[in-house]
Structure 1
Amino acid sequence: MYQRAAQLYQKTSLTSCQSPELAADSLEELRIALEELHVAEEELLQQNEELTSIRNQLEAESKRYQELFDFAPDGYLVTDVLGIIREANRAAATMLNVPQKFLIGKPLVNFIPYEERSAFRLQLQQLHNTERVQEWELRLFPRHTTEFDATLTVVTIRNNNGDVAGWRWLMRDITARKQVEAKLREIELQNLRLQETTRIRSHFLAIMSHELRSPMNAIIGFSQLLLRNQQDRLNSQQESMVQRVLNSGKHLLRLIDEILDFSKLEANCLALQPEEFNLAELISDTTAEMHSLIEQQNLKLQVKLNLENPLVVNDKYRLRQVLVNLLSNAIKFTNVGSITIEAWEPSTERIAIAVEDTGIGIAQADLKDIFTEFRQANQTLVRQHGGTGLGLSIANRLVQMMHGSITVTSELGQGSTFQVEIPRRVTLS
């Protein structure tokens, strides 16, 4: 504006004052210059407002960053290239047990255990060649407290020339994580030991079962020969003794078979052999074989077969083993009353079999463990009748292999009902 006014003054001074047109032109130029000045003033005011708004935003962002930095749950530090602390938040001060203002200017190496400081300094030198170090695990030694495990994440700070100006450090206390990891390692080690113990036990049971089967088969075979030999008749006392030997031998062989089956199941060595068979015939044959035992107990047997299609594709021998186990338990623990075996079709693709007795029943507290190996509900009766405590566990595992389920409902003193449900056609995966 000053320049324009000086030019107009010089121009009008050099020209005759008798030219009114020139004065008018000069005044017009002055007016235009004033308008331009006003526009420039408005632009400056607008730019000033924008700058003020930007400054306020920057101050708010700076305050927000400082609050995030100060109140972050993890420890944050900023150091120079020598590892001298230049900034520290509250979490870092708490972790290192030093007030925030006194942390500034302290070397970070002061908080490293003495025996690990050489390695820390070496790593600090190597930070010049990297932009970021993730999850650097080491121990920190706070002032007047015990050391703890921590992870450090380090990010390089560079100046405008691209040179390293320092580092940002994120510190995290991982003592709890280390304790959990140690506990997990201990549990894994215990599991490995248990697995090895189970493997050795299963191997031992399998070997012993095979070794015991041979002499037991010989005892049973010779006992049957003595009872069948008509040429050299035994007297009644001798026949009774041989019969007891035979019965005991068969009982021991059943126990050995249970142990052998259990060891195979434990080692995942038992496989199903599916075939098509008539379920009604299987149930009839199985109950017929056990009819003598039922008569000895003076029990009544009822068989209910509600099957439109009795053909099933499954492992006939293993399903018979399940039925024998359930019927044997029913006979064993029923002194008075009856036993009922029923088969029906819940759907076209499912088969259900139930064995119901009027025996002593099972307490509600024992139902949850009824299919657990070596667990038996009534130890007194078990001692009277014998058994390994593996029968129901084996039956449960066999039914699961058939992609089925086995359940029990019972009330103490009112009897029990075991129900097996399997697919009509088992598929082996």
Structure 2
Amino acid sequence: MNTPAQLLDVPSREELLAQLAASRQDVESLRSELDETNRGVLALYAELDAQADELRQATELKSRFLAYMSHEFRTPIGSVLSIARLLLDRVDGPLTDEQERQVKFIQETSVEFSDMVNDLLDLAKVEAGRIDISPDWFEMVDLFSTLRGMFKPVLTNPDLLLVFEEPHDVPKLFSDDRKLAQILRNFISNALKFTAKGEVRVSARRGEDGMVVFSVADTGIGIASEFHHAMFKDFNQIDSPIQKRLRGTGLGLSLSKKLAELLGGTVGLTSEPGVGSTFFVAIPAGAPEAAHG
């Protein structure tokens, strides 16, 4: 005759002890796996911290190297420009037409080299966090007038016009006008360099969310869509016959992007090969809080 425990199929004491022992083994196994996982996570964090330190050191060394080399290049560049200016002023006597052409080539090349050095130095300062933002109120008309005067001496192509649209319904800006002018100078210089004929048009308009958008539109060679994503990266250049013929470091647009971010803004472009390009920078009408620090 079956007992009540057998009828209810209740585990015996030995079976319960065996199940408890098995459960304890499972818990210990899980605890061991969890400890191993924690050790792996801690090791991964330690490795990431070490890599982050190495990256910071590498970035600092690069910035220091760029700053040092930029300063070292300034003296010989200045000397070459001074000598070229003296020769073109005929201080030491007249020049033949061929000599004048060669000296002008030296002068133009030295100016380009100087611009590259300045971009390198500014980029090093930005990456090292040593660029000061000095916001103040200014008018668009004054900014455009300064840029117009700056580019007037280099507009030697009769088939190319540089047009500054009169700003309409654009408020006064509270920002760093020198940094903004540097961004627009880079945009305008590139537009003039890659536009053989037509026009380069500079404009400003109200954007959304209190932003003001500055655009530099050209009728130049244009840029294929597959290159758009990389245009604002360091040392980026387009693989084209004109790009190969014209010198540059590919730093101007990267620097412009970083300066725009310091002003609390963004940069971008629209472009189509054979039609032209429009580069723009959007910055807030009022300076961001970071600009005061």
Tell me if both proteins adopt one fold, taking TM over 0.5 as the criterion: yes
CA–CA distance in structure 1, aligned partners of residues 118 and 24 of structure 2: 66
- Provide the residue aligned with 2:243 in structure 1: 382
Q: 1:87 aligns with which of 20, 33, 49?
A: 20
Shift of 1:293: 4.0
- Provide the residue aligned with 1:214 in structure 2: 75
Secondary structure in structure 2 of the residue aligned to 1:340: strand
**Superposition map of 1:358-373 within 5 A:** 358-373=219-234
Preserved contact between residue 205 and residue 260 of structure 1 (Cα < 8 Å): yes
Select the structure that is richer in strand: 1
Secondary structure in structure 2 of the residue aligned to 1:418: strand
Secondary structure in structure 2 of the residue aligned to 1:400: helix
Preserved contact between residue 170 and residue 204 of structure 2 (Cα < 8 Å): no
Shift of 1:255: 0.4
CA–CA distance in structure 1, aligned partners of residues 106 and 176 of structure 2: 32
Secondary structure in structure 2 of the residue aligned to 1:361: coil
Q: Deviation digits for residues 302-348 of structure 1, max 9, x if unmatched?
A: 32123346643322222111111001111222234322111123379
Change (3 A) 1:324 1:185: same
Counterpart AA for 1:200: L
Higher relative contact order (Cα pairs below 8 Å, separated by 6+ residues): 2
Counterpart AA for 1:321: Q
Q: 1:407 aligns with which of 240, 248, 268?
A: 268
- Provide the residue aligned with 1:315 in structure 2: 176
Change (3 A) 1:340 1:267: same
- Provide the residue aligned with 2:105 in structure 1: 244
Shift of 1:380: 4.9
Change (3 A) 1:92 1:325: same
- Provide the residue aligned with 2:6 in structure 1: none
Counterpart AA for 1:88: A
**Superposition map of 1:176-255 within 5 A:** 176-229=37-90, 232-255=93-116
CA–CA distance in structure 1, aligned partners of residues 257 and 117 of structure 2: 18
Unpaired runs of at least 5, structure 2: 1-10
Secondary structure in structure 1 of the residue aligned to 2:20: strand
Q: Deviation digits for residues 285-316 of structure 1, max 9, x if unmatched?
A: 31343245444272233321233466433222
- Provide the residue aligned with 2:214 in structure 1: 353
Unpaired runs of at least 5, structure 1: 1-62, 64-69, 71-77, 79-84, 97-149, 152-170
Change (3 A) 1:203 1:348: closer
CA–CA distance in structure 1, aligned partners of residues 128 and 241 of structure 2: 31
CA–CA distance in structure 2, aligned partners of residues 379 and 258 of structure 1: 23
Secondary structure in structure 1 of the residue aligned to 2:126: helix
CA–CA distance in structure 2, aligned partners of residues 254 and 216 of structure 1: 10
User: Normalised by the size of structure 2, how large is the TM-score?
Assistant: 0.82
Q: 2:255 aligns with which of 364, 381, 394?
A: 394
Aligned residues, how many? 278
Shift of 1:216: 0.8
Shift of 1:263: 0.5
Shift of 1:207: 0.6
User: Normalised by the size of structure 1, how large is the TM-score?
Assistant: 0.58
Q: 1:305 aligns with which of 136, 152, 166?
A: 166
**Superposition map of 1:6-405 within 5 A:** 87-90=20-23, 92-93=25-26, 151=31, 172-229=33-90, 232-296=93-157, 298-308=159-169, 311-346=172-207, 349-378=210-239, 380-405=241-266
Preserved contact between residue 350 and residue 423 of structure 1 (Cα < 8 Å): yes
Change (3 A) 1:239 1:253: same
CA–CA distance in structure 1, aligned partners of residues 209 and 45 of structure 2: 48
CA–CA distance in structure 2, aligned partners of residues 396 and 216 of structure 1: 27
Preserved contact between residue 405 and residue 420 of structure 1 (Cα < 8 Å): yes
Counterpart AA for 1:87: L
Change (3 A) 1:391 1:95: same
Counterpart AA for 2:272: E
Preserved contact between residue 280 and residue 310 of structure 1 (Cα < 8 Å): no
